[in-house]
Structure 1
Amino acid sequence: MLVQNSLSEVLRAREELFTRTIWTDPTSQLQNRVKGSELSRYFLLTESERIGIEQTIRLLVSTTPYYLSLSDPTDPNCPIRRMIVPTAEEAVFSLEESSDPLDEERLSPVRGLTHMYPNRVLLFSNHSCSVYCRHCMRGRKVSSSGERMEKADLETAFDYIRNHHEVEDVVVSGGDPLNLADARLEWILHELNQIPHVRICRLGTRNPVTLPFRITDELCKIIERYNDDNLSIFCHTQFNHPKECTKEAKDAILRLLKVGVSVGNQAVLLKGINDDEEIMLTLHKKLLEMRVRAYYLYDPELIPGSRGFRTPLARGIEIVEYMRGKIGGMGIPHFVNDLPGGGGKITIGANWYLGYYPKTRQHAFRSAVTKKIHFSFEPVGSDKESYYPVLSEADWEKFQAE
């Protein structure tokens, strides 16, 4: 049973936690991670949060002191707190939900490796993260000791990649690969670097957000060593809210950039956290200031206990539409749905293209800036006219009048 402390006790406990943690030491941060049973010491919990902590059907609860310090102990709507503390909605397994909505296990030829796209694979390197985000789409594996990837499992995965010459691109994910010891991560990068047909390696990590001190000079030297003519290494991270864009996070990003690693952001659209046009615009402006390019904005997955995070599909379209014209293109993410059943990612965009009018060979568009209708001609002799949705006479006349 969780015992609720008073506000003064919560603030005192936070101060004690932050004091005993060697703040810039990633090992100390991990050693002092806060677990679910301890959350009542650091937050004034609501009844919904108490139920969520005790009855969650999702992954374990854990956060670094650093990430906890970004949260509000009294406000249950604090976006960082929402990503740390479960609510009662995590205790509900809805009919439409699945522990593996993307069919990653069906598409896994060997343990820890998913081969969904012809020339790309995803390597599940480990089961551990610095923070177990409540919206994690891989909760069936993350934080479960039964999903630990031993060296023999990774060697089998490397053999599979070596024997499949069509594989050019390996996404190293988890868990968080940067939670691995330096020696294990170096071994993984060395193995990939030695496979001639593997040209791209993408590290999927949230540590720049949740544990920026893990991006050490030693780690960056390892990455730089294998980021060469044989292998191009990229980093995909996940900032979801402007509050995460701290000086510590920027310093971590700059260390990666200095060793030639391009950093892209894959945000997740989360109800009550960032499903707001101005919040998302501010986030991506801050990311550009940190030299992080927008990559994806994910529609939330249909994972168990996730109803509290899911938004209508239209929200993502509306947000991306709102951002167009207010920030440079490199700051606007692709809104994507990773299709259930292993269908892969598709982009979903605002409907700027309105259709084609064959009589005048003109396409009609709505401007993201002026919101007015603009027209452009199809080349004479084009054999692609049947490709376009045809405008009705009524729509053509309406657009002409606007």
Structure 2
Amino acid sequence: MLVQSSLSEVLKARSELFSRTNWTDPTSQLQNRVKGEDLSKYFVLTESEEIGIRETIRLHVSTTPYYLSLSDPIDPNCPIRRMIVPRSEEAVFSSEESPDPLDEERLSPVRGLTHMYPNRVLLFSNHSCSVYCRHCMRGRKVSSSDERMEKSDLENAFAYIRTHEEIEDVVISGGDPLNLSDSRLEWILSELHSIPHVKICRLGTRNPVTLPFRITEALCKIIETYNDDKLSIFCNTQFNHPKECTKESKEAILRLLKVGVSVGNQSVLLKGINDEEEVMLTLHKKLLEMRVRAYYLYDPELIPGSRGFRTPLARGIEIVEYMRGKIGGMGIPQFVNDLPGGGGKITIAPNWYLGYYPKTRQHAFRSAVTKKIHLSFEPVGSNKESYYPTISDSEWEKFGL
């Protein structure tokens, strides 16, 4: 039973929580995580939020004091709050939704490993995160003790990778792999480092956003040890809103960069959080200031209880179109859809290319900067003309060229 708190009580509880947390100690942050039954102490909840906390069909609720401190205790539309506190939409399982929309379990040859693409695999290293984001697409696994990866499970995964020499790239995900102890993470990296055909390792972590203090000098030293001419280690994280781009996060990113780990960002397009053009543009400008390159902007997955976050497909296309010309290319993410049923990722882009006009051997393009039609010639003797969508005479005349 949730007990609603007044604003003064909420502010007092927040102050006490922050005071008893050793702020820059990641262990203290995790020990003082706020769970679902305690959210009413730290937010003046709406009726929808009360229903969401009580009846969510998604993963558990939990947030670090640090990430909680970025949220608004009063405003239910605060973007950070939206990613922490469930709403009533989370209690609805729509017919089009699935716990495993990408068919990752079907594509799992051994426990904790997904082999969707020929030359790369996804390794689920653990089931825990610092913050259980409400839009998480792996709610079936994250926060569930049944999904705990024992050392024997990981050993089986490594054995599979060793016997499949086509595997060159291993993505370590979870949960959040950086929630593992230093010793467990070092063991995982050492195992991958010892497999001759594994050349690339990608760490998928949201801790630079939700628990930046976890990116310690000791952790970075471990990563640096295995980030060499045999194995290239990358990090992909997930900043979704400018409010997440803090001084602490930037310091964490810089520590990773100093040991040779480039950091990319994979945002999720979320209704009411970052589905406005200027919000997404501001986010990626801040990320470039933090030396984080844009990678993906994900169309939300069809996961249970996600109707409150999903946007029309056109929103992502419109946002990427808006960003082009207003920020350098390394700050513009690829808008992607991870196809249901295990089809893999595809990129979806604005329609800059309008087609080919055979009579003049010209391609027509729409400029993101001038908004005008610009032309370019196909080489003489090209045998690729049938490849292009053809512009009709009537369409060509409409260009007014």
TM-score by length of 2: 1.00
Aligned to 2:179: 179
Q: Establish whether residue 360 from structure 1 lines up as the match of residue 360 from structure 2.
A: yes
Aligned partner of 1:49: which letter?
E
1:250 corresponding residue in structure 2: 250
Q: Deviations over 1:75-116 (max 9, x none)?
A: 000000000000000000000000000000000000000000
**Rounded Cα–Cα distance in structure 1 between residues aligned with 2:12 and 2:393:** 70
| Partner Cα distance (1:278, 1:210) in 2 | 23
CA deviation after TM superposition for structure 1 residue 399, in Å: 1.0
Alignment-derived partner of residue 378 in structure 1? 378
User: 1:3-402 counterparts in 2 under 5 A?
Assistant: 3-401=3-401
How many Å apart are 1:198 and its aligned residue? 0.1
**Residues 241-283 of structure 1, C-alpha deviations (whole Å, 9 max, x = no match):** 0000000000000000000000000000000000000000000
Q: State the TM-score, normalized to the length of structure 1.
A: 1.00
Moved over 4 A (4+): none
Show structure 2 runs of 5+ residues with no match. Answer: none
Deviation, 1:400, is: 2.9
Once residues 15 and 107 of structure 1 are traced to their aligned partners in structure 2, the CA distance between those partners, rounded to angstroms, is 46
CA distance in 1, matches of 2:81, 2:2: 17
> Structure 1 regions of 5+ residues with no counterpart?
none
Q: How far apart, CA to CA, are the structure 2 residues paired with 1:207 and 1:362? A: 49
Cα distance in 2 for partners of 1:40, 1:30 equals 19
Between the aligned partners of 2:163 and 2:86, the Cα distance in structure 1 is 42
SS at match of 2:291: coil
1:272 is aligned with what amino acid? G
d(CA) in 1 for partners of 2:360 and 2:10? 70
Q: Which shifted more, 386-395 or 126-135? A: 386-395
Q: SS at 2:126's partner residue?
A: coil
**Partner AA of 1:128 in structure 2:** S
Look up the equivalent residue of 1:260 and give its one-letter code. Answer: G
**Cα distance in 1 for residues equivalent to 2:193 and 2:168:** 11
Give how far 1:392 is off.
1.2
What SS class does the counterpart of residue 400 from structure 2 fall into?
Answer: helix
Q: Which amino acid aligns with 1:115?
A: H
| Letter of the structure 2 residue corresponding to residue 250 of structure 1 | K
Which amino acid in structure 1 is aligned with residue 200 of structure 2? Answer: I
CA RMSD of aligned residues (A): 0.4
The separation in 1 between residues aligned to 2:284 and 2:6, in whole angstroms, is: 37
3-state secondary structure, aligned to 1:400 = coil
Instruction: State the one-letter code of the partner of 1:265.
Output: N
Question: Matched residues in 1 for 2:181 and 2:322: separation?
Answer: 42
Question: What do the CA deviations read for 1:206-250 (whole angstroms, capped 9, x no partner)?
Answer: 000000000000000000000011100000000000000000000
AA partner of residue 199 (structure 1): K
Matched pairs, number: 401
Q: Distance in 1 between matches of 2:367 and 2:6?
A: 54
CA deviations over 1:1-50 (Å, ceiling 9, x no partner): 10001100000000000000000000000000000000000000000000
AA in 1 matched with 2:399: F
SS of the aligned residue for 2:390 comes to: coil
Structure 1 residue 203: Cα displacement: 0.1
**1: CA distance, partners of 2:139 / 2:167:** 26
CA distance in 2, matches of 1:369, 1:311: 26
Distance 1:363 1:5 in 2: 63
- Taking the aligned partners of 1:51 and 1:394, their CA distance within structure 2 comes to 57
Q: For residues 141-191 of structure 1, give each alpha carbon's deviation from its aligned partner in whole angstroms, at most 9, with x where no partner exists.
A: 000000000000000000000000000000000000000000000000000
